[in-house]
């Protein structure tokens, strides 16, 4: 019973994702593409080239093009920098992996430093080593007298 419900939900989600690919909206595409002049998404740009790109998107949607076809046409014309999100393949994969790798390395370094700090601080609680030179007898007598003043 649960498996059937999960399969039905998965099919519904897949159908809605496919509908976005087959029948994209202008707003959807404008938020996923960047103006090559001002380097903001098309939905926030009013640069002349952004206005032409918006008109192109509306024409292609009316002609029945898919989201991938419209993006591919704009990438062919302006280059991959027109995509707001870099593709998750090839050399652009570095844009996705590098921040995660940096975060992992940072966590390891912080963990090692914390471990090292906690282990070096532990020695501060131990009494000092008594292997040094003995005190001068006069100084030792004075120390004993001073300590005796504080005892009840």
pLDDT at 95: 72
121 belongs to a structural domain: no
Q: For the chain, which ranges sit under pLDDT 70?
A: 1-22, 87-89, 91-92, 121-132, 152
pLDDT at 58: 93
State whether 100 and 79 are in the same domain. Answer: no
DSSP classification of residue 129: P
Between CA 62 and CA 69, with CA 68 as vertex, the angle to 5 degrees is 55
State whether 52 and 95 are in the same domain. Answer: no
9 belongs to a structural domain: no
pLDDT at 57: 92
pLDDT at 118: 83
Whole-structure pTM value: 0.49
Domain count, the chain: 2
pLDDT at 59: 93
Q: Are 36 and 78 in contact (CB under 8 A)?
A: yes
pLDDT at 16: 45
pLDDT at 131: 64
State whether 41 and 75 are in the same domain. Answer: yes
- Which residue segment(s) compose the domain that 99 sits in? 89-114
Between CA 104 and CA 89 the distance in angstroms is 21
pLDDT at 79: 87
Between CA 109 and CA 116, with CA 113 as vertex, the angle to 5 degrees is 140
State whether 103 and 62 are in the same domain. Answer: no
- Which of 44, 64, 83 marks a domain boundary? 83
b/e string for 69-106 if b means 16 or more Cβ within 10 A? ebbeebeeebeeebbeeeeeeeeeeeeeeeeeeeeeee
């Amino acid at each position: 019973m649960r498996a059937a419900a999960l399969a039905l939900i998965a099919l519904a989600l897949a159908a809605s994702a496919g509908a976005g690919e087959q029948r994209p909206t202008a707003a959807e595409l404008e938020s996923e593409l960047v103006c090559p002049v001002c380097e903001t998404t098309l939905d926030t740009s009013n640069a002349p080239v952004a206005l032409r790109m918006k008109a192109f998107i509306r024409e292609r949607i009316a002609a029945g093009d898919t989201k991938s076809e419209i993006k591919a046409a704009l990438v062919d014309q302006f280059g991959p920098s027109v995509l707001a999100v870099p593709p998750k393949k090839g050399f652009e994969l570095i844009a996705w992996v590098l921040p995660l790798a940096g975060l992992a390395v940072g966590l390891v370094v912080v963990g090692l430093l914390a471990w090292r700090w906690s282990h070096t601080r532990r020695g501060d609680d131990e009494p000092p080593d008594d292997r040094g030179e003995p005190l001068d007898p006069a100084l030792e007598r004075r120390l004993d007298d001073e300590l005796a003043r504080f005892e009840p």
